[in-house]
A and B are shown apart, each in its own frame.
Chain A
Amino acid sequence: MSDEFASRYEPGQSLEVEHTPLHSNARDVHTEDPFDFEIIAHRLRTITEEQSEKLREVSGSPIVTEVNDFNIAITDERGDAVSISPYILTHAGVIDLMVKWTLEHRDGNPGINPGDMFICNDPWVGALHQNDAAVLAPVFHEGELFAWTTTTLHQVDLGGSDPGGFSINADDVYDEPEPTPPMKIVDRGEIRADIEDLFRRRSREPELFELDLRAQVAANNTAKDRISELIEQYDAETVKGVMRGVLDRAESKLRDRVSSLPDGTWWQTGYQEGNKRDDRGVYAASLELEKRDDELRFTVGGDPQTGMINSTYSGLRGGIMNTVLPLLCHDIPWALGGLYRVLTIDAEEGTIPNATFPGAVSGASINAAWLVRDLANIAIAELLDASDDQADRLLAGCTGSWPSVIMHGTQNGEPFVNGVFDPQAGGWGARVNGDGIDTAGIISTPKGRIANVETNELTMPVLFMFRREMTDSGGPGEFRGGLGGEAAWVPHGTDEEIAYLLSTFGQFLPQSMGVSGGYPGSPSGYQLLTDTDIQDRLARGELPDRDTVLDLGTQNTVGPKETISQSHSDVFYVYWPGGGGYGDPLDRDLDRVLQDVESGAVSPSAAKHRYGVIIDGDDVDVDATEQRRATLREQRTTVEAEPPETVTTADATTTREFGHNLETRDGVVHCGRCDTGITNATAESLKPSMAISRRSAAELWIGDADGPDADPQIVEYACPECGVLFGVEVSISDEPISGPR
């Protein structure tokens, strides 16, 4: 196996580029002309916006136009991204790897020339997974390679054993869509018919490939023209100087932000269920965030790579950058080339999040890379939570998993492959002072959107029985996680069965985690209700409501990776996660709970069990609620906690800070509520000294006999004295799986 695409690709510090002349002269524009600097920087950002609109309007793919699963980046001559568009951030987070790889391996042979473009979907080069095809266009100025403009979009189908590309039966990459290292798809301005045909030949939707390729080429051409105009108006050294300056500025601003946060280490473990079809195992991945001075170091590991749930290094790296951007860089240019200088990413080779060739990775975007994003989301949220003045910048876990729905069959006599992308509309995590946003989207997609039900019904042979925000899906907390959603449909307008290819995780172990005592948001998953009388009911003129529909026929839970088919009498049901909560749900304002019950966001039963709030008619029974909350708090304290570690004199000066409801004083962490000393602030883990209660996860969410070969548990960590909740884990381990250390 050639090493250039066997495992993590690490570009050399100085790229070895012999044949392609690189333009590297740059003026110090910011010092010499701070105003021109801003003008040019603004123009570069506008160019990516223009390019995005063009791509989106021309693309034929619902994944691009309805779901916005694409991105655009402009990089300097060496591939460091200066400007990206606000669509799927993960794509932009890996573009530098692909450009650098192209520079190192396509230099001279076949050569990088003006008017060329390269297409790449190789996850060991830099693609997130094989369906994300990037088209990389070098921009030349007077014979020198000045910059790159790139577009990445999710192709509906690029071949492989399963339609839609998430090959849930794969043992290795040979069962999957073929990874293609950078190939010259446009040669001096002309699309190469041979390379285009190579991709069309593999695809089950060749026309869509063709349309989307043209969208990418057109968008790149727009950006190339704009960059050339910019150089024309100023000069190459000035524009390059601004690119360099924007990268430096992004780096320096992120360093300032990181410096202003407390030092410490936070780690987080998460799980995926099922490594491929019919598998019942549970597989862990973990992430440790170490913050020292102005640096962030991420260390990612996990179980050995297995089945089809892996990601390559590019996916884990994109997943991390994905959370760094919105949580730490809201007011910093998203010039990733500069931001990456602040991050160090270590990852163990051969693990699920960092699989080596020929691991199966076609599902990386919705499996390991997604999970790494969840873990980074919480690690950064806990880092922010430990800060005095920046905790209000955190979001608890957002849309922790995605139940992918790829559908294929026959429509109007023609074969089709399509997907229902509605599960993108997960809930965002709660904030320290407000609830999470309901059906908000994926944290990686500032401008995400889902299709109308009518559009789904126009493009797929189905009839939706409902599409709703899901009651109790938001993670309980003092501030609630945003709601996730649910939808169900029956076949309509087709005589044949509809085949499904399904892949998710977070089904028994939900992964939108809460922060500082907030509970996780709900799981994701599917059910197939078979042998229902739904068609008869419709024919009788009856339109059943949600609860009635879900009670029909035989309810079959579908495993996390599954292929099924739906007949006319079957109802297909999918549900997707809410966001994690923040703070102890027993501290939630009574009016908020009441409002949630009135609007259907929270059921009366969850109000009682999770929030300790008793609703009587249209009002809260305040006395009963106080009693109920006291009982629940007390229950948490009845378990034995380990005696606290003793405090040494040296520890007494520690300034180590933890989240909400915990205070460090004289070397001891105290409960912020009752002031009880919990343990030594320098203790390896605080959790053993807290009151720990465990219960089966099935108690909270869909209980299922057909669950994984493990015992998913909800683990609560509370103050041994007053019972205020400090943290909640979803775990299969007897030991803590997260926290500061």
Chain B
Amino acid sequence: MPAPDGRDSLTATPSKHNLRWDPVFVHARREAAVIVALFLLFFSYSILTCFFLGYGHTAEDSSSIRLIWGMPAWVFFGIFLPWCGVDLVAVWFCFFFMQDDNLNPPEEDGHAKKLEQSAKETSG
């Protein structure tokens, strides 16, 4: 994987030769990119829908504003529906896309494993 600053990770010169990009960093960055893309999608849809359906009405046609489920049509299509859509997307993102990563630093993990091992030996 190329380094984010454009240099190939193979040509980077870390002080230790067995280093790689941290998987937590890689996964988190990918998830962040997807989130930004989702934001842009819902932002575009909502703003455009609300603008074209909800703005520019004159006083004369105020009595003919269409209601759906009691709310103005632009609110229903521009806010209510995408809100429900985002909740569904959250299900996908949280339960099918986002990775479970170990967030502890390696030394903390090693210490925790030692404690666990010691506990097992004590309990026999």
Q: Do A and B bind each other?
A: no
